[in-house]
Amino acid sequence: MKISKLLSVILGFTVISASTPYSTAIAVTSNGSGLNVSMNNTSIDCLPNYISQAYDMTNVVEVSDLDATDEYSITFLNNDGTYSLLQFMTPIKYYDSNSNSYRFIDNEIVTSKETGYEFENKANSFSSMFPCSSSDGVVFKDSDYSVKMIPVSDNDNSADKVVSDYNSECEYISYGNVYGTDTDLRYYIENNGLKETLVLNDRPDFSTYSFELQLEGLEIKEHSGSSIILYDIETGEETLKLNPVFIQDSSDYFNTTYNNTYSVEAIDYNDYLVTVNLDAEFLNSDEIVYPCTVDPTIYYTRMGTLSGSYATQSGNTVLSNYYQAGSFNGVGECITYIKVNGLENKKWLNPNNILECIMTFKDCSAGYYNSGTITCYDSNSILNVNNVSYSQLVSALGMTIDSVAVSNVDCYYDFDITYLLKKWISNQIGQGGFTYNYGCIFRGDSTLLGRRAYSDGTTYHPYIEIKFTRDYTIENGIYKISSASNQKYIQNNGLSQNVTATSTTISNSGKWRITNDGDGLYTIQPYDDLSKYLYVSSTNANTNLTVSSSAFKWYITANNNGTFRLMPATSASVSTAATYSSGNVILSDYTNANDKNWNINLLYFANVDNYFDNGYSVRYGETNNASQAILNGYMEAISDRYRELLGLDFIYSTNYYNSGVDQCKGTVTSSNIDSLCGHTSNHTGYQSVKSSFISDSSASNTLTAAYWTGHKIDTTGMGGVYTTSYNRSFSSGYRIYMLELCNSTNREYNSKSVLMHELNHQYGAPDHYHEILADGTCRGGAICSVCGSNPRPSTCIMCQGRMDITSDNVICDGCKGQMITHLEGHHIN
């Protein structure tokens, strides 16, 4: 078989994966640690240039670990608290089984460690190895299969590493004059594979080029056509694709042809001769300016999140790393059609929290400098990216989404597709919208000469940026979680046991501590064993939810109807959510069905009405409005802690109150604020204060009335103490009396402490500080931290009184237990 002088081979290999491209990376953990893989080198300084240079990092604070295990995306935390998720067309990370971690892809060409090869790519899930001599064949392989490509040629040329003329960061391997004089083979390492380009420096004598394709783990079934599929031998799945080929000349107008075909002949088992038949008429045309590029010749790619193509007026559908709009010589107008795939894996996003979505392209339209407009349209039809026609796209043009004026080349253009993304996400979660399968269409205005946006696969990667805020609806606290379908509570059944939902009655094992990790993700811990976490061993459907020692994280996203969806947050790409299933809780693909939605409620509720008088405002030299705001601040701080410690939903109000002491003094001033009442009824005595407040305020076993004053109050004799005292705060019945006087320095600290101490009394906690009463007994009794026979810790606020209420041990276990018993009595939410 003489196939010398055969020419240009134009292939495009595309992985067509039937399953999600993300599951593989998650499943390939090497040490049995399930989903606990990590991301290495995620500091901003370690980002690859193709990210840090393409994206404006000005407002980036840090790299979030939100999508550490997602190969196609990276998320930044911005300085305004929002997040920006960049979703790329090609993978930017790969799973490194040696370190059980994810790393950024590095396409640098380095000296090969493999015997018989001169160069190889530095870091990716696949290896591309280049021999010294082209006749030894370039190898592309990953863990499942390999492809060896040997040009069929009498010439045998050595490999050179070359830096691209147009991009100093882009390297390639060049084999010169492989198919005769003036025919060079070039190999570019890309994030998603290996691209081979044949450069015809002068008009060739022939228009067919052949190479031998040695496959391992793959086979070819078709033997001719504009594209060829390579199938996985074991699974039968379409794995690689030799894409349609195009040739482009060096004129200013990019003369282009797509009239090229493949023919394949089996030589041996898994050994094929592949011939590319180029458009001879095009190559021999006098209008063609050489060199011509046959591009891409060999192109291996995995399906990314963005998929797109452009259709030419002349009738071709072009799948490549180029997107084109406007008029091109030889093919007429080009219209680009793009789908943002993978949104079924973004169901954890709340459409209401999406601030912006931008699709960014880099213009590389060398030779075209006229200005014009490119418009992004919604598509009215669901079209096939792989086989869409020009007329279909024209017919499908829908609502205008964004129009962008283009002028300069070699710069970035942004299209705002926020509207579309919200609709697409809403549709995914069953809350209206429409499917992302409609995609969007990019078309130039009628005068626009051809514009080309592209990815060179090595140094520039198109992406969409989704800017969003995290869903913080759930605040740190103790909650009960019940199915929206039947109100049955999720229940812990112990380490590694499946959690269940069998009862509409809450028990201790049905209480869960939910904690925001600060990055918008949540841990969910069984309250009866806070060393454990709600867990799934896989994000696959039908996986049971269990409890593990691993600090597993979840997305908790609010639905429009007040329920929530719980999704494992091992990746930014996840579609499954906790689902009620016959008494068990499993993962299943999220839809907005009741069995996949959950009610998340704090365990208990309590109300507090605050009353402050003029004595309070005058004491601290502020207006009534200022006092109200300050007291609300104290209540909010207490509310946070009660939610975290007890699962108590705290509802409060704060209002001015014309107290008995205020009335006694008439006009309250700093001069009379420390005066004691001389009336018979002793308005500044604690008993008068108490009786007055009882008659003026409402209170019940779920409503505490709190009186705040800055007047000097005589509390001598209060609480069984015989010594003189003033302004001792106390709790009595359904009311608390916040009498303690502070200064500007200690006011906030002391007020919060005393407030929590007295409110703890309202919910059943006893004092356990040491104080000998008039009868010789200790106030703390048996639990006194100092003298009791069964002392409670001194670090509890029921002993210390004034302490940092945010400290972990602010309420000791004993007091907490008593409070829960009390709350269980009549504060159930």
Partner 1 sequence: MKKSIVFSFIIASMSLLITGCSENRTATTTNSNKAQINMVDGVYSAYFDDYNDLSLNLIDNLTEINENLKHTEEETSASILQFINLIEESDLIKVPQISGENLKLRQKEDYYSISVETKDFYNRPWIFYGFDDGDSNSYVKITNISSEIGQLDSDEIYEFMNAMDPIPDDGVFYPPYTEMYEETIDMNDKSIDVLFAKRDNDPRVYANFIYDDSMVIICCSEENIESGFLNEFGLGNLELK
Total number of residues shown for the chain? 829
Site membership for partner 1, residue 807 (CB under 8 A): no
Range in contact with partner 1 (rule: CB under 8 A) among 105-113, 187-195, 383-391, 721-729 = 721-729
Instruction: For residues 388 and 309, give the distance between their C-alpha atoms in angstroms, rounded to a whole number.
Output: 8
Gyration radius of the chain over CA positions: 36
Applying CB under 8 A, among 27, 123, 774, 828 the residue interacting with partner 1 is 774
Instruction: Work out how close the CB of 515 gets to partner 1 at its nearest, in angstroms, rounded to a whole number.
Output: 23
> Which of 629, 722, 806, 826 contacts partner 1 by CB under 8 A?
722
> CB 799 → partner 1: shortest distance, Å?
7
Q: Could you say whether residue 96 binds partner 1 (CB under 8 A)? A: no
Q: Sort 676 into a burial class: Cβ within 10 Å, 0-12 / 13-18 / 19+.
A: middle
**Do the beta carbons of residue 409 and residue 254 sit within 8 Å?**
no
Is residue 185 within 8 Å of residue 151, measured between CB atoms? yes
Q: Considering only residues 750, 760, 762, 818, which one is a binding residue for partner 1 as defined by CB under 8 A? A: 750
19 binds partner 1 (CB under 8 A): no
Q: Which is nearer to partner 1, 124 or 731 (CB)?
A: 731
730 interacts with partner 1 by CB under 8 A: yes
Q: What is the SS3 assignment for 235?
A: coil
Tell me the closest approach of the beta carbon of residue 749 to partner 1, in angstroms: 4
Q: Least distance in Å: CB of 769 to partner 1?
A: 5
Which region among 266-274, 326-334, 437-445, 793-801 touches partner 1 (by CB under 8 A)? 793-801
Stretch that binds partner 1, among 77-85, 238-246, 295-303, 791-799 (CB under 8 A): 791-799
Tell me which residues in 71-90 interact with partner 1 (CB under 8 A). Answer: none
291 scored as a contact of partner 1 (CB under 8 A): no
Binding test (CB under 8 A) with partner 1, winner from 561, 777, 807, 821: 777
Among 235, 371, 403, 809, binds partner 1 (CB under 8 A): 809
Nearer to partner 1, 34 or 793 (CB): 793
Bridge-partner residues for 246, per DSSP? 295
Interaction between residue 724 and partner 1 (CB under 8 A): yes
User: What tokens appear for 176 in the block?
Assistant: 């010169």
Q: Could you give the angle at the alpha carbon of 354 between the alpha carbons of 349 and 357, nearest 5°? A: 110
Stretch that binds partner 1, among 14-22, 28-36, 408-416, 795-803 (CB under 8 A): 795-803
Dist. CA 756–CA 765, nearest whole Å: 11
User: Is 786 an interacting residue with respect to partner 1 (CB under 8 A)?
Assistant: yes
* Residue 771 touching partner 1 (CB under 8 A): yes
Which of residues 364 and 721 has its CB atom nearest to partner 1 in the complex? 721
Residue found by looking up tokens 């009862």 in the block: 503
Cα of first residue to Cα of last residue in the chain, in angstroms, is 84
Closest listed residue to residue 106, CA positions, set 463, 462, 459: 459
In angstroms, the CA 186 to CA 171 distance is 10
Interacting residues with partner 1 between 690 and 719 (CB under 8 A): 715, 719
**Min CB(803)–partner 1 separation in Å:** 8
Neighbouring residues of 303: CB distance < 8 A, sequence distance ≥ 6: 14, 15, 16, 17, 21, 341
Among 62-70, 456-464, 689-697, 798-806, the segment contacting partner 1 (CB under 8 A):
798-806
If you count DSSP H runs as helices and E runs as strands, how many of each does the chain have, helices first? 12, 54
- C-alpha span between 239 and 140 (Å, rounded): 14
Asked if 808 touches partner 1 (CB under 8 A), the answer is: no
Residue with tokens 């007047």, as numbered in its chain: 711
State how far the Cα of 333 lies from the Cα of 703, in Å rounded to an integer: 73
Place of tokens 């790519």: 121
Place of tokens 């509720």: 605
The alpha-helical segments, DSSP class H, found in 509-649 are 614-619, 624-646
From the list 153, 239, 256, 785, which residue makes contact with partner 1 (rule: CB under 8 A)? 785
* Residue 369 binds to partner 1 (criterion: CB under 8 A): no
CA distances from residue 183 to 118, 128, 150, 186 in whole angstroms, order as listed: 21, 22, 15, 10
- The answer to whether 732 contacts partner 1 (rule: CB under 8 A) is no
Smallest gap from Cβ 668 to partner 1, in A, equals: 20
Binding-site ranges for partner 1 (CB under 8 A): 715, 719, 721-730, 745-750, 757, 767, 769-772, 774-777, 782, 785-791, 793-795, 799-802, 809, 812
